[in-house]
DNA sequence: CCGGATCCGACTGGATACTG
DNA sequence: CAGTATCCAGTCGGATCCGG
């Protein structure tokens, strides 16, 4: 009897984890946390993302019901993206992860340095 | 004044997120949650991972101080991997994410179906 | 035999140019 | 402004080979 089944390939957690376990999905969700945003705004806010990946990430999130897209007809015309209610539920786990990242940055960088030093020496 | 800085490319959260935001890191961490394990055990438990990616993932986690490797000399010889204290602190956010995944699988699959149907029709 | 490095094909992601 | 098409480099991942 194991405590965790996450390592079974077809379990819900693994299937769903694939949705957010990529470079951009969580960042995009956070970028939309503050409210609806245009494509170009997202592209600006998410530093380092290419247009291709932004489009691809948004489409994926949209296909999974986390993000909603709507066309803007008023000037200036364009598209607007926003989190769905389901998408907003993802904010909590993402924030937990972000908080962890911030709290342990020092230790992670220290370990990385140690490792790099060992590789050099 | 923004509530989240995660979308800034060089913020701690983004830097650290890159560490776990891949297909296997979190799964590997969970696979190690129950306790130390051999390479071959991990390879078995984590369904679908190749040996190459397993090695690569473990090395990355090790380089960042989340996982510790030790050689086993007794029969059968081999390697054993375990979470470091720092690695164990990652379990909480990962579990939060897993829980979210399990709780919202239905909605996600429903959205996916809807999207697929729209693509067909 | 277990752990892991290497080789090579397939796919992914980025930059740029182009379209609606 | 919001993407799409194309090209190219880097990564993924299976098969295979090597060391203890």
DSSP A77: P
Mark which residues 71-110 of A lie under 8 Å from B by CB.
86, 89-90, 92-94, 96-102, 104-105, 107-108, 110
Asked if B89 lies within 8 A of A104 by C-beta distance, the reply is yes
**pLDDT at site A6:** 52
Asked if A107 lies within 8 A of B65 by C-beta distance, the reply is yes
Estimate to the nearest angstrom the gap between the alpha carbon of B23 and the chain centroid.
7
pTM, full prediction = 0.89
Per-residue pLDDT of chain B (121 residues; tens, 9 = 90+): 343 455 566 677 888 888 888 889 999 999 999 899 999 999 988 888 999 999 999 999 999 999 999 998 877 889 999 999 999 999 999 999 989 988 999 999 999 999 988 877 5
CA distance B82 to chain A (A): 16
Query: Measured between alpha carbons, how far is B31 from B86 in angstroms, rounded to an integer?
Result: 16
Stretches where chain A sits below pLDDT 70 are 1-10, 120-121
Radius of gyration of chain A (CA): 18
Q: Is B115 left (phi over 0), alpha (psi -120 to 50) or beta?
A: alpha
> Tell me, in Å, how far CA of A77 is from C1' of C18?
20
Sequence spans of domains, chain B? 12-120
Reference A56, options A32, A85, A22; nearest CA is A22
Query: Measured between alpha carbons, how far is B110 from B108 in angstroms, rounded to an integer?
Result: 5
Topology adopted by domain B12-120: Arc Repressor Mutant, subunit A (1.10.10)
CA distance A61 to chain B (A): 10
Average pLDDT of chain A? 87
């Amino acid at each position: 009897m194991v405590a965790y089944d996450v390592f079974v390939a077809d379990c819900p957690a693994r299937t769903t984890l694939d949705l957010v376990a990529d470079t951009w999905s969580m960042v995009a969700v956070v970028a939309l946390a503050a409210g609806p945003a245009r494509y170009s705004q997202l592209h600006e806010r998410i530093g380092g993302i290419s247009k291709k990946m932004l489009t691809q990430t948004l489409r994926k999130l949209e296909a999974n019901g986390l993000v909603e897209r709507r066309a803007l007809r008023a000037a200036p015309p364009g598209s607007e993206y926003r989190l769905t209610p389901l998408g907003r539920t993802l904010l909590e786990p993402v924030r937990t992860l972000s908080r962890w990242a911030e709290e342990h940055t020092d230790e992670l960088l220290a370990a990385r340095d140690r490792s790099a030093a060992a590789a050099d020496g």
